[in-house]
Amino acid sequence: MLSGMPKGENVLVDMDSKAGDLFNAEDAHPTGTGGTGVLSRLWLPKGISASVAKEWFDRRRLSIRPWSSFVDQRKFSKPRNFGELCQRVVKNVEVYNSNYTFIFLGLILYCIISSPMLLIALAVFAGAFYIIHLKSLESKLVVLGKELTVPHQMSLAGLVSLPVFWLAGAGAAVFWILGATLFVIGSHAAFRQLEGSDLDELLMEPV
């Protein structure tokens, strides 16, 4: 029998500890971002924790205006002049900010789901980053005398997956998302009539 091979109970203990390292998100993270688990350090950029992301999402979700009012056709009309157009855009972007945010996220999700090559490119990027990050946890990765930080590792993963993103037409997808977002949000903000309370606020603002 090989002397260096772990036995029975020791193997179970070692596997438990590895699982704890992977999913534990309660211990303090060395960078202060929360969580020592591999997943918490792997996917969240420095300075962002899962609780911060969840808090942002919940705040956006709670501030959403009712979708029935958002798409009510009776409240859409052509602005009478350029001044009214500007007032509508500014005020509606302020009022429906959370709705517009979820529309933007929905367009991103639609673009990813509807493009199999883009899904493959994202999978290649995630896989490359995962492998590089695991290697850095085992031993420090040093290039040209400098240790690779998480942003450096993401850049390296992006460089590895760049050909796949190019084949997937990622640049065209980005422009499509931006164009569709500007068209949908701009059209809604320009043609959606202001509520009575919003008009009162505009009239009360000092000139």
Q: How do residues 176-187 score in pLDDT, each as one tens digit?
A: 999 999 999 999
From residue 27, give the alpha-carbon distance in Å to each of 17, 47, 51, 130, 137.
14, 16, 13, 21, 17
Helix, strand, or coil here: 193? coil
Domain segments of the chain: what residues? 80-197
71-89 residue pLDDT tens: 998 999 999 999 999 999 9
Its pTM stands at: 0.61
